[in-house]
Amino acid sequence: MRLSIVIPVYNERDTILKILDAVDSIEIPDVAKEIIIVDDYSTDGTRTILQGLEHRYKILFQSLNQGKGAALRRGYEVATGDYIVNQDADLEYDPADYAALLRPIIRGEADVVFGSRRMQQSRVQNVYRRYLWGGIALNALVNFLAEVKISDIFSGSKVFPRSALSRLHIRSRGFEVETELTIKLLRAGYRVVEIPISYHARTIAKGKKIRPSDAIRILRTAIISRWQI
């Protein structure tokens, strides 16, 4: 199996090398890794760091800041793996979970696996109350609007077959991409399994970029994605 790891990056100067080291260190039997980094027009020095790593990774540079969804979509365009996993560059999600995410697929139990921060065994740290309860309430509302039942729709940890992209027509440009991808994979009929994952939340002061205003785009995407594949 070949696994494409798509890493959208925007102003992550302090974490980009750490996440790349973590991804590099992961070895899964019979799984070859392809690491794709998409810099979404960083302005904090991240871009300079990445320019020095082009001999090691497949790196794409956006000419304008367009959002997480746009960066992921560009990474998907050049991915060659059998499966794709999304990986944020901010250390909130642990690449050590890849093996567990792939296990249901390798066993033939699922086509798609979502990492969930809400399941009982999840190892979640530093989740701030307003994000925790806001996320739970928004998750419930999106489940209702889209007529799905997923414990953690907004999780940035997802593994899915690359072939699905020819059917789903992902259009999101921002953080709402996780909502669109989740709903469309479910509505397209893929067998989906959720498993608990590690999660280490960071604060706005330390670079967290999603804001309460993103909830409006997420809700709009949930409604639209219910009717579009």
Q: What is the mean pLDDT of residues 75-103?
A: 97
In this predicted structure, what is the pLDDT of residue 140? 87
How many domains are there within the chain?
1
For the full predicted model, state whether its pTM sits above 0.95: no
Q: End-to-end distance of the chain based on CA atoms, in angstroms?
A: 26
**What is the per-residue pLDDT across 32-69, written as a single tens digit (0 to 9) for each?**
999 999 999 999 999 999 999 999 999 999 999 999 99
Q: Which residues contact 121 (CB under 8 A, 6 or more apart)?
A: 196
Domain of 106 in residue numbering reads as 2-225
Phi and psi at residue 142, to the nearest 5°:
-65, -40
For all residues of the chain together, what is the average pLDDT? 90
Burial bucket for residue 165 (CB in 10 Å: 0-12, 13-18, 19+)? middle
Q: What is the mean pLDDT of residues 210-216?
A: 72
Tokens at 132, concatenated = 């925790």
Burial bucket for residue 66 (CB in 10 Å: 0-12, 13-18, 19+)? middle
Task: Give the pLDDT band (50/70/90) at residue 126.
Answer: low
| Contact present, 79 and 36 (Cβ < 8 Å) | yes
| Contact present, 116 and 151 (Cβ < 8 Å) | yes
pLDDT at 214 over 70: yes
Q: What percent of the chain is modeled with pLDDT above 90?
A: 70
Phi and psi at residue 85, to the nearest 5°:
-125, 135
Helix (H) or strand (E) holding 217: helix 214-225
In this predicted structure, what is the pLDDT of residue 49? 98
For the chain, give the number of residues.
229
> The tokens 């590690």 sit on which residue?
198
Q: What percent of the chain is modeled with pLDDT above 70?
A: 90
Amino acid occupying residue 183: I
| Contact present, 108 and 142 (Cβ < 8 Å) | no
Strand order across the beta sheet in which 32-39 lies: 58-61, 32-39, 2-9, 83-86, 158-161, 112-116, 192-196
**What is the per-residue pLDDT across 13-33, written as a single tens digit (0 to 9) for each?**
999 999 999 999 999 999 999
**How far, in Å, are 110, 112, 144, 218 from residue 223 at the CA level?**
26, 22, 10, 9
> Domain with 56 in it: what CATH number?
3.90.550.10
